[in-house]
Homo-oligomer: A and B are copies of this chain.
């Protein structure tokens, strides 16, 4: 009889990422030192493999439709510290050492605006 508990997707030691219908999985990048969330992008299985192989984070660019070695052009690479997966294996987390800015706007993180409610209207204000 299979040990259903340890074989469950939550408890297994087998890495079986659950990609969406486009073959992608969300990947959150967190600064390993500060704990700041830098960005969220998407990986396919090749991006996961390349990231682990090179220790530099690779994503799948949905806009360009190609493998995206983050920082290959800008120099703003993300050096992998560790890769994690969530309980039901449909989200990846990479803890990284960020060189330069994570965000294409030149900011340290992509999450530089706060959603606030003003007079029943949702607006954005600067804020981490």
Partner-B contacts on A (CB < 8 A): 10-15, 26, 28, 30, 34-37, 39-40, 48, 52, 82-88, 91-93, 103-105, 107, 110-115, 117, 122-125, 127-128
Residues of B within 8 A of A88 (CB): 110
Question: Is the CB–CB distance between A84 and B26 below 8 Å?
Answer: no
| C-alpha spacing A91/B15, complex, angstroms | 25
A15 to B122, CA, bound (A): 6
Quickly give the copy total for this chain.
2
Distance of A84 from chain B, by nearest CB (Å): 4
Q: Which of B30, B39, B85 contacts A113 (CB 8 A)?
A: B85
> Are the CB atoms of B82 and A110 closer together than 8 Å?
no
